[in-house]
Structure formats: structure tokens, C-alpha cells
């Protein structure tokens, strides 16, 4: 069974939400990133012939993906992670320090654990080739926000 673009985007949103509500689940993070990674392919296939404006008049999928990645660095990082190249960003679970304000936003159990660990918690990070660690949840949140704007602006 095939699903339409809007239903696929709803699936992307559901998986992203599930990963954000399970912030220590590497499995959820992988699932959300992989499903998000396919979204440009679905958009391009839907509109490349019928409404090229909606895919920025790109001539092919690699050009479309490159344009998206140039517009949204978070998408570029997540897409690169899903290519699984040797130097691609990788998901890792690490202990990170959180500030007082962020600690207040933690679930009660996580907050209590952070207190015992000097305001440190486990988190899923994206480790890039230049040794930068980025919060997966923040990357996903920004990438989803970008796509929501794109869907609205281009009436996808």
C-alpha cells in the first residue's frame, strides 16, 4: 500500500515526536532520522513533473536534496548521518551536563538522576566528523520546524 505525501509527512511528524518523547532511545532516533531522510525523495517524486516550483525547479533528486541541505544545515547533518559513509555523523549516547534552566525542563525521574550526577544526564548526540557533538533532539526539532515551514510555504 502506498501513502500520499501528506500522510507520509504525518508519519514523519509522529516518528519525530516519538523520538523526542523517548530521548534516550537510539532506536527511535534512528527511525525518526531514516523516515525524515526519505521525505525529500517523496516530495520530489510527487511534484517534479506536475509542479516544479514545489521542488525548487531541481532537475533531479540529488540537486533537490543539495538545495534543501544548503537551506537547512540540520537537514544536511541528518541526511549525512543516514548515508552511513565512513566519515558520516554518528549517533552516540553520552553523559552531558545540563544547566539549571534545562534541568528544570527534565522529566521528574531524569531531574532526580541529574541531581545525583551533578546536573548530568544521558542524551543522544550526533557526533560529526569534526568532533562536534550535537543534541539529536535539537537537530530533529529544527529540521521538523524547517519542513513544516516548507510544507506551508510551498503548499506541499
pLDDT at residue 90 tops 70:
yes
* Mean pLDDT of the chain, nearest integer: 89
Give the helix/strand (H/E) hosting 31: helix 26-47
Confidence of residue 96 (pLDDT cuts 50, 70, 90): confident
pLDDT score, position 1: 52
* DSSP, res 82: H
> Is residue 105 over pLDDT 80?
no
Q: Tell me how many domains the chain contains.
A: 1
Cβ-contact 26, 127 below 8 angstroms: no
Q: Residue 43 is part of which domain span?
A: 5-153
What are the C-alpha distances in Å from 30 to residues 70, 78, 94? 22, 10, 16
Strands 90-97 and 133-135: unpaired
**1-58 pLDDT, tens per residue?**
589 999 999 999 999 999 988 888 899 999 999 999 999 999 999 999 999 999 999 9
Mean pLDDT of 128-154: 96
pLDDT at residue number 155: 95
User: How far out from the chain centre does Cα 53 lie?
Assistant: 24
Amino acid at each position: 500500500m502506498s501513502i500520499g505525501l501528506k500522510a507520509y509527512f504525518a508519519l514523519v511528524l509522529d516518528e519525530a515526536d516519538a523520538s523526542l518523547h523517548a530521548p534516550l532511545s537510539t532506536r527511535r532516533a534512528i527511525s525518526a532520522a531514516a523516515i525524515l531522510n526519505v521525505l525529500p525523495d517523496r516530495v520530489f517524486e510527487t511534484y517534479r513533473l506536475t509542479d516544479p516550483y514545489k521542488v525548487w525547479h531541481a532537475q533531479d533528486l540529488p540537486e533537490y536534496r543539495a538545495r534543501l541541505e544548503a537551506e537547512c544545515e540540520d537537514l544536511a547533518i541528518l541526511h549525512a548521518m543516514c548515508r552511513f559513509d565512513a566519515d558520516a555523523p554518528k549517533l552516540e549516547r553520552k553523559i552531558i551536563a545540563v544547566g539549571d534552566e534545562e534541568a528544570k525542563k527534565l522529566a521528574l525521574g531524569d531531574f532526580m538522576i541529574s541531581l545525583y550526577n551533578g546536573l548530568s544526564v544521558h542524551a543522544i548526540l550526533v557526533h560529526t566528523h569534526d568532533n562536534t557533538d550535537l543534541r539529536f533532539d535539537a537537530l530533529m526539532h529544527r529540521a521538523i520546524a524547517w519542513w513544516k515551514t516548507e510544507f506551508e510555504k510551498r503548499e506541499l
